Structure 1
Amino acid sequence: MSRIDRVALLCCLLVAASVPVAAFALSDKKSPTSEEVSPAEWRRQQLAAADKSDEIMHKAQKQPGLLAQYMLMQSNYDANADRAFRLIFGQYLSWFQTWIADYDGASRSFSIAQPAQSDDAPSPLTGGYRMRPADEVILELAKDRKAIFFNEAHSAPITRTLTVELLARLRAQGYNTFAAETLYISDKELQKRGYAIAKTGFYTSEPIYGEMVREAVRLGYKVVAYDAENAGVGDPREKEGAETLANLFKRDTNTRLVVNAGFAHIQKSGVYLRGSSMATFFRRLSGVEPLAIEQTMMIEHAREDQNHPYYVAAKNAARTNHPFVFIDDAGAAWTLKPGLYDVSVFFPPPTTIENRPNWVSLDGTRLPYQISSDICRGQFPCLVEAHYTRESDDAVAADRVILNVVDQSAPIEQRLLANHVSERSRLYLFPGEYRVSALDRFGRTITARNVHIGAEPAATGAKSP
């Protein structure tokens, strides 16, 4: 089974076997209750939807360029209102939306609701805890550890931002190895090349993830692909990945490890996919106790009713645009799931300017570069992307946006992207030299220009919650 097939199957199994049906929801519909559809029938429908989703995705990946790939995915989603199909295929679509940096669209297409559950810790707002900036607390907790595990929601790249921002400071603390679930073992030239390309990993085509990999290499981390690409799902995959990570410590006792993985792969105990998680196996095999940073539960969802009640209360109480955590008077961090994770990170709701969420700026370190429809020369929709001039054209772009002018008299192929009606937008870029290009639906260059982003002071705002 290929890596992509396995990712798709994992999605299906999560929905059908391990997660309560009500926990998965679209922005416009809810999953059926057990009274509406029996669990066995719902599983059958989802398995069929997963097969169909795989078929469409493979067809999309043969299209010339990300814009054409996304458009094929979006048109198939729009044409099929079946509930099981939209639930499964919505996740597939969301991956492509993150790759073109349509982050709001990805959230609408797929979101995992976070309802209150019986194993939740008491709310940190009930007393004994205070808010603090997440980066400061994590660095304090990490300084004497050998391993720190971050998780992410693959369809919500906001959960990658804090990891990117912390890599340099963790490196200064002595962390020297970076491992990511998404990396393909087959990309042998990554460390030498210094940046991700399409063949580097499944999720690394998303610009923020691309920056994470680029930053890790630049800082001198040893970059490791650890995930088992052909082990299926469940214990075989989790154990094999954990063995790869544990062996790093056997080969070099000075290893200090940063891991980025999806969802509950980093939970340190309990049942995961009817077995054990990667982090649980890692603890047993290595004897190393990782610091587990949970980043997927306390985020803004597409619908308010998908947010955890604690999140709703905390975001209303917070006065910050920065990720935050809660600690008690002894310095112990609060976590929603005690025993599974060490810290729960809260991400404030984003603000949006010209269809771009503010977190894309990476805490103000990436500066806005305005673009308008003239760059597309009347060819809409067009994908505008920025590449570092020192990197090749096949590098993952530093940032991307879609520009689209919907003219009701235009041909139908120019009116497919109804959710992308924008003549202006902005790219967010670190200071440096870039090649900014506009591409048509066939991946052909319409215009290209060299751009210098000056090192202007970044507006960071009030940081202390």
Structure 2
Amino acid sequence: MQASRTGLTLGYISFLALLSTTSHAQLPGQWRSQQLEASRKSELIMREAETRKGLLAQYQVMRYAHVRYNDTAFRVIFGQYLSWYQTFIGDYTDASASFSIKQGLTTEDHSSPLAEGGFSAKPALQAIPELAKNYRAVFFNEAHNVPMTRTLTVQVLSELRKEGFNYFAAETLYQTDTRLQGRGYPIKESGFYTEEPICAEMVRTALKLGFKVVAYEATSDATGDAREREQANNVYQEVFKKDPNAKLVLDAGYAHIQKSGGFLGGSSMAEYLHKLSGIDALTVEQTMLFPHEDSHDDHPYLSEVIRKFNPQVPTVFIDGTGKPWTLRSGYDVSVFFPAQKLDRGRPTWADLGGLRKPYPVSGDRCKESYPCMVEARYFDEGMDAIPADLIALDPIPLSATQEEHIRFHQGAPISELYLRPGKYKLTYTDQRAQLLFEQEVTVAGDTATR
């Protein structure tokens, strides 16, 4: 495990945990102390989980730790850790519920595009490449436990490639995976967030489109401002210093991409990179205007846009001069995501704007061994590849009581994978990572890669 794993967790305590939806009555010093202790405990639990073989066994350690400890500070901090693992096993709805940042109206917010007038709603997939024509760098941010905020980036990569963008960088890719470019797909050792299939698909898509993929994560134990500075220097050294004509697409979490304003006691990675390169980036904000599991956490502007337009795709607002609307200064354009729809328990945004199709799977192949992991890997990739998609079939909810752990004639659970047209290796494994069933499947349709 790289030092960056600790950096990405400890570095977000003040930025994320204090913004979470949990209220508390402690004094700030007491609350901070409890957070630090909760983070220490969370790190120990995650290290224990990582000693187990297979994602399901690792998730079980995280799952039962969440049930075992119920103090407020621990739930706030550990909820974020748990949510990452939930995305890793394809449980996107629970991941969004385990850690949520309430997006209330603030004094920093600009007026709604509906109130300002002169703005028109445009599909982000069309508008962003047009905006990008005037830039040499485009930065997207994401909420790490909400893969919905990665879906637009996957889709828009092909359009940005047509505009001459030729480098792609992503937070927590590891420099130690020196074979990623030649191999053409990410593996467990490629990074942290790339264990989540849509994040892996983002990297895989960039590789297939001919982007030079860059790992820029800090390799030291740096946290906070020092980590921002080190990340920016890594990007500069690997991209703009080596290739003065480079055009970069970059994916990072939250405010790492903001172009102005204080961040973690200093400046953001994007600000430091601008100082080093002199290059102004188009910054695309995607973490404030998406639907939460609890609608009370939604930003009021999102609710207004959904009520008036009911958008079916990620949407931005552009005025008559071509200027985009942004919720807050520091970003150039803000993305509104549509209301979430579920099909057999999975969000339909996992189809990546139609690039992937639903493929039904059933627990009949699990041989009554639950939880059971169903994974689909591209046929031309190795078994070490991060799956194209996966889902843990388990009839027992996270908050189950001991009595609910006994199943009586409930039938096999069913769900859906979301896969691009093509051929796949499908496997079913138990929580000990033992193979229960395997088969080759083909998803029909146009095999063209966006």
Could you say whether these structures have the same fold, taking a TM-score greater than 0.5 normalized by the shorter chain as the test?
Answer: yes
- What is the deviation of 1:413? 11
Structure 1 counterpart of 2:294: 303
Q: 1:48 to 1:402 in 2, by over 3 A?
A: same
**AA partner of residue 4 (structure 1):** R
Q: 1:59 to 1:348 in 2, by over 3 A?
A: same
Structure 2 counterpart of 1:238: 228
1: distance between equivalents of 2:16 and 2:234? 28
**AA partner of residue 441 (structure 1):** Q
Matching residue within 101, 104, 114 for 1:112: 101
Q: 1:269 to 1:422 in 2, by over 3 A?
A: farther
**AA partner of residue 66 (structure 1):** L
Matching residue within 212, 216, 230 for 1:226: 216
- What is the deviation of 1:270? 1.0
**AA partner of residue 306 (structure 1):** D
Structure 2 counterpart of 1:4: 5
Q: Contact 1:366–1:431 (CA<8 Å) still a contact in 2?
A: yes
Q: 1:422 to 1:300 in 2, by over 3 A?
A: farther
Q: Contact 1:198–1:395 (CA<8 Å) still a contact in 2?
A: yes
- What is the deviation of 1:426? 0.8
TM-score by length of 1: 0.91
The reply to whether residue 94 of structure 1 matches residue 83 of structure 2 is yes
2: distance between equivalents of 1:302 and 1:422? 26
2: distance between equivalents of 1:421 and 1:106? 25
Q: Contact 2:55–2:89 (CA<8 Å) still a contact in 1?
A: yes
Secondary structure in structure 1 of the residue aligned to 2:6? helix
TM-score by length of 2: 0.94
- What is the deviation of 1:404? 2.3
1: distance between equivalents of 2:387 and 2:403? 25
In terms of mean alpha carbon deviation, does 398-407 or 423-432 score higher?
398-407
**AA partner of residue 113 (structure 1):** K
Structure 1 counterpart of 2:129: 139
Matching residue within 196, 202, 216 for 2:206: 216
The reply to whether residue 54 of structure 1 matches residue 55 of structure 2 is no
Secondary structure in structure 2 of the residue aligned to 1:298? coil
- What is the deviation of 1:306? 1.1
**AA partner of residue 31 (structure 1):** S
Instruction: Provide the identity percentage.
Output: 46
The reply to whether residue 166 of structure 1 matches residue 167 of structure 2 is no
Q: Contact 1:335–1:341 (CA<8 Å) still a contact in 2?
A: yes
1: distance between equivalents of 2:248 and 2:33? 40
The reply to whether residue 200 of structure 1 matches residue 190 of structure 2 is yes
Q: Contact 2:83–2:96 (CA<8 Å) still a contact in 1?
A: yes
- What is the deviation of 1:327? 1.0
1: distance between equivalents of 2:144 and 2:406? 25
Q: Contact 1:404–1:421 (CA<8 Å) still a contact in 2?
A: no
Q: 1:251 to 1:226 in 2, by over 3 A?
A: same
Q: 1:5 to 1:231 in 2, by over 3 A?
A: closer
Q: Contact 1:327–1:334 (CA<8 Å) still a contact in 2?
A: yes
The reply to whether residue 24 of structure 1 matches residue 20 of structure 2 is yes
Displaced runs of 4 or more, over 4 A: 411-414
Structure 2 counterpart of 1:368: 358
**AA partner of residue 393 (structure 1):** M
| Count of matched residue pairs | 440
**AA partner of residue 453 (structure 1):** V
Query: Which structure 2 residue ranges, 5 or more long, are not aligned?
Result: none
Q: 1:204 to 1:457 in 2, by over 3 A?
A: closer
Secondary structure in structure 1 of the residue aligned to 2:12? helix
Secondary structure in structure 2 of the residue aligned to 1:150? strand
Q: 1:416 to 1:15 in 2, by over 3 A?
A: farther
RMSD of aligned C-alpha atoms? 2.1
Secondary structure in structure 2 of the residue aligned to 1:204? helix
Secondary structure in structure 1 of the residue aligned to 2:185? coil
C-alpha distance after superposition, 1:260-298 (max 9, x if no partner): 001000000110111000111111111100000000000
